[in-house]
Amino acid sequence: MTRTATGERDTVLRLDGITKIFGALVANDAISLTLHRGEILGLLGENGAGKTTLMNILFGHYVADSGTIAVEGRPLPPGDPAASLAAGIGMVHQHFTLAENLTVLDNIVLGTESLWRLSSRRDAARSRIRKLGEDYGLAVDPDVTVASLSVGERQRVEILKALYRDARILILDEPTAVLTPQESAALFETLKRFVASGLSIIFISHKLGEVLAACNRVTILRGGKLVADHDVAGVTRAELAELMVGRPIPEAKSEPRAPGAAVLRLGRLSAARGLLSLRDVDLEIRQGEVVGIAGVAGNGQSLLADVISGMQQPSHGRLELNGATLHAVTPRAMVASGVARIPEDRHAEGLIGDMTITENVVSETYRSPALSRFGLIDWRKARTRAEDIISAYEVKCPSPDVPVRLLSGGNMQKLILGRVMAEGPKLVLANQPTRGLDVGAVSYVHARLLEARSKGAAILLLSEDLDELLSLSDRIAVIYRGRLSPLRERRETTIADLGLLMAGHGFAGGEDSHAA
């Protein structure tokens, strides 16, 4: 551990020996760290390293099993979000905590006045929000409902919530996950303005580049332990990466391979649901290639995925699988056509937590002649199949008869992979397949996807993680407001190009059309 000479500066926050244990898991192991006035501290670590737990303790959502927290030298009572707020700690959550049907003003003033007042001081609040917005370049109309705001604007509201409460310490949890690279850069500028005006910031991320670009100092968590505390000056990405992971990462390398015949072909396909829409999407995926789709969350990726998984009937256009046009787009038709569907949300869509592993494994195939006769399911055969998948896909579980909700996220994802890929699919739809997984599980999922590719499957990968897209894809397209850019070869693509496309440059009716 390296110590740097920062001790003389004001310490605004001190965590001392924080330990938190969940069952057998030591989420935080005697973590101590300090935050100084006017600095941006990067908190770096993989998923599951303990970053979120630590911040939840700081914010009063959890109580530490041992250890103390002091803000400006005063101890912070544990387990009391109101006390953390009062001490000037503001948190911008990764998943925004906004009530969508209420106005920006309502979301910001909530909890800032005594609850027993007979009337809320709304006019004063409104002008103060306007002023804060102007001062920091975070302008938002206070009287519109949050539901009508873009993702970037919602993040501004989240930050305004903290500023409105005179937060002195701002914690941002993976703030760039939902932003384009350009928006992220703008956010970093805003953060620099904050620290210049005396705020202190903890910036949580698992992206090395961002931490190096935005922070003054970086603290690294690994497996619940604090493993490093460095000034940013003088460290390299490689050093940070090794500290974060603790072992060399097996890079998923996709060897170039001659693609075969088209498996999936979308022709001027449109679909609409609520405010989301897909417009005239053309796409072709061939055997033995990975096609990646990049885009900022909420631009129609989920709708595209829903069409291909059979959950959404297109309104116009053609959907061809293996050369045959599909008219009734349903989950069953997709499964029958050999589409392996890895859903975006394991808990909500992928698995039924209260049912057993066996019951989940057969959820797509229980009607097949192999598993049922005369409407009765042969559970013995189903259990055998579950056992096969458990061993082939290294799912860690006591038996196929336990409810799926007891599995870890990584094992759940392996189970889904086993369910959909065991039959040798023709097309794999992987929608955010590694979201929220630890590094081991991520590389396992990547390896299995590439294995399917080498066996001749076509893979459609939707991801918000540009690094993942660039390392796995053969060709990449960007989705923006329901339109899909033409596919381009991965080798001829840079992050900067993708960033421009993700911000709408190059799309008809996009922000600008000078960069195609």
Partner 1 sequence: MEAIEILFTASLWAAAIRIASPLIFGTLGELICERAGVLNLGIEGIMTAGAFSGWLAVYMGADLWFGVAVAAIVGATLGLLHGVLVVPLGLSQHVTGIGVTLLATSLCYYFYRLAFPEVTSPPKIDPFQPWPVPVLSEIPVLGPALFQQTPLTYLAFVMVVLVAWFLERTPLGLAVRTVGENPAAAEAQGINVTWVRIGAVMAGSALMGIGGSFITLSAFNSFFFDMMNGRGWICIALVVFGAWRPGKALLGAVLFGAFDAYQLRLQQLAGAVVPYQFFLMLPFVLSILALIFMSRRVAYPRALMVPYRKGER
Partner 2 sequence: MRLEPRQSRPLLLVFLLPALALLTAGVICALLVMLSGASPFQVFGLMIKGALGSQFAFLETLTRATPLIFTGLAVAVAFRAKLWNIGAEAQLYIGAVMTVVLGTGLLPLPWPALIPVLMFSAALGGALVLAVPTFLKTRFGVDEVVTTLLLNFIVLLFVSMLLEGPLKDPMGLGWPQSKKVVADAQLPKLVQGKRLHAGFVIAILAAMLVWVFDRRAALGYEMRAVGYNSKAAAFAGIPVNPVLAKTALLSGGLAGLAGWSEVSGLKGNLTLDLSPGFGYTGIVVAMLALLHPLGVVVAAIFVAAVFVGADAMSRSAGVPSYIAHVMVALSLLCMVTAIMFTRYRVRWT
Q: What residues line the site for partner 2 (CB under 8 A)?
A: 23, 62-63, 79, 309-311, 330-332, 334-335, 341, 343, 348-355, 359, 363-364, 366-367, 372, 375-377, 379, 405-406
Residue 353 binds which of partner 1, partner 2, none (CB < 5-8 A, kind-dependent): partner 2
Q: How far is the CB of 298 from partner 2 (least distance, A)?
A: 19
Residue 303 binds which of partner 1, partner 2, none (CB < 5-8 A, kind-dependent): none
Q: How far is the CB of 63 from partner 2 (least distance, A)?
A: 5
Q: Is 10 helix (H, G, I), strand (E, B) or coil?
A: coil
Q: How far is the CB of 309 from partner 2 (least distance, A)?
A: 7
Pick the closer one to partner 2 by CB: 309 or 434: 309
Pick the closer one to partner 2 by CB: 234 or 369: 369
Tokens of residue 1, six digits: 């551990």
Q: How far is the CB of 79 from partner 1 (least distance, A)?
A: 10
Rounded CA separation 36/51 (Å):
19
CA 343 to chain centroid, in Å, comes to 14
Q: How far is the CB of 410 from partner 1 (least distance, A)?
A: 15
Rounded CA separation 31/137 (Å):
35
Residues near partner 1 (CB under 8 A) are 56, 61-62, 81-82, 85-86, 91, 93, 97-102, 106-107, 109-120, 161
Q: How far is the CB of 28 from partner 2 (least distance, A)?
A: 15
Among left, alpha and beta (phi > 0; psi -120 to 50; other), residue 485 is beta
Residue 120 binds which of partner 2, partner 1, none (CB < 5-8 A, kind-dependent): partner 1
Pick the closer one to partner 1 by CB: 100 or 423: 100
Q: How far is the CB of 8 from partner 1 (least distance, A)?
A: 34
Distances (CA, A) of 189 to 44, 107, 138, 503: 20, 25, 12, 18
Q: Enumerate the β-bridge partners of residue 272.
A: 277
Pick the closer one to partner 2 by CB: 325 or 330: 330
Pick the closer one to partner 2 by CB: 173 or 364: 364
Rounded CA separation 335/351 (Å):
16
Q: Residue ranges of the alpha helices (H) in 310-438?
A: 331-336, 357-361, 379-392, 409-421
Residue 116 binds which of partner 1, partner 2, none (CB < 5-8 A, kind-dependent): partner 1
Rounded CA separation 277/272 (Å):
4
Residue 102 binds which of partner 2, partner 1, none (CB < 5-8 A, kind-dependent): partner 1
Pick the closer one to partner 1 by CB: 117 or 247: 117
Q: Which helix (H) or strand (E) holds 291?
A: strand 290-294
Q: How far is the CB of 82 from partner 2 (least distance, A)?
A: 15
Residue 238 binds which of partner 1, partner 2, none (CB < 5-8 A, kind-dependent): none
Q: What is the CA radius of gyration of the chain?
A: 25
Tokens of residue 331, six digits: 């989950």
Distances (CA, A) of 345 to 54, 185, 205: 25, 29, 21
Rounded CA separation 119/370 (Å):
67
Residue 327 binds which of partner 1, partner 2, none (CB < 5-8 A, kind-dependent): none
Residue 349 binds which of partner 1, partner 2, none (CB < 5-8 A, kind-dependent): partner 2
Strands 11-22 and 74-75: unpaired
Q: How far apart are the first and last CA of the chain?
A: 47
Pick the closer one to partner 1 by CB: 146 or 417: 146
Pick the closer one to partner 2 by CB: 80 or 497: 80
Rounded CA separation 76/70 (Å):
5
CA torsion through residues 94, 95, 101, 102, sign: negative
